[in-house]
Amino acid sequence: SLIVRVNIHPYPVFLLAGLVPWNAFAQSLIQATTSVTDSRGIVSKVAFPRQVLPLSAVLSGSVNFLISLGLLAILTVVLHPHLGWSILLLPLLVLLQVTFTFGLGAILAAAQVYFRDVQYFVGVFLTAWFFLTPVVYSIDFVPPRLRPILLLNPMAWDISSFQAIWFYGRIPSVGYLVLFAAVAGLSLLLGIIVFGRLSRRFSEEV
């Protein structure tokens, strides 16, 4: 709030309301991307549902996500006691984010088996994606002419919904929730299909 001159108070609560879910998403996605290649010894020798690998990576990241949300709750109560009934929607947001992450992570995990540089592109892409998502700034600060472009980003709907609950103490935009639910469902469906088809040759490629 001092260096960037963001006129949001208390800024730590606003920042962490977006940073906590974003970090969980980014870390889970990176771990899911390499989940199959990191387990090549098991994949090439043991027959089991390969979908377990990206799923376990996302779920392990979700445990840290839940712990961080608990710490965020304490900080919010201390610095900005503005929580309302909208907090009851938090489990839905977490579920949608985990679903979206798993679907995308499954696709990237399958691609990583055939193209080993995928993990590096994911890291670069996530950095750019971070700055295109309203994590360190409010979406209201974006010029109106550019806002529609920014709102094509599914994570903008997700992060704005978390900020609505934690910082503003209000129900997230119904439009954001519906759109993110649709994208999360599509991500899950595509992830299952793509991973299922490409996993047939995993034992040969790893």
Residues 6+ apart with CB under 8 A from 93: 21, 158, 161, 162, 165, 172
- pLDDT for position 131: 93
pLDDT number for residue 5: 67
Sign for the CA dihedral angle at 194, 175, 160, 139 comes to: positive
**What are the average pLDDT values for consecutive 10-residue runs of the chain, which has 206 residues?**
71 94 97 92 78 94 93 89 87 97 97 94 96 91 88 96 94 96 98 93 79
Give the pLDDT of residue 64.
92
Looking at residue 24, its amino acid is A
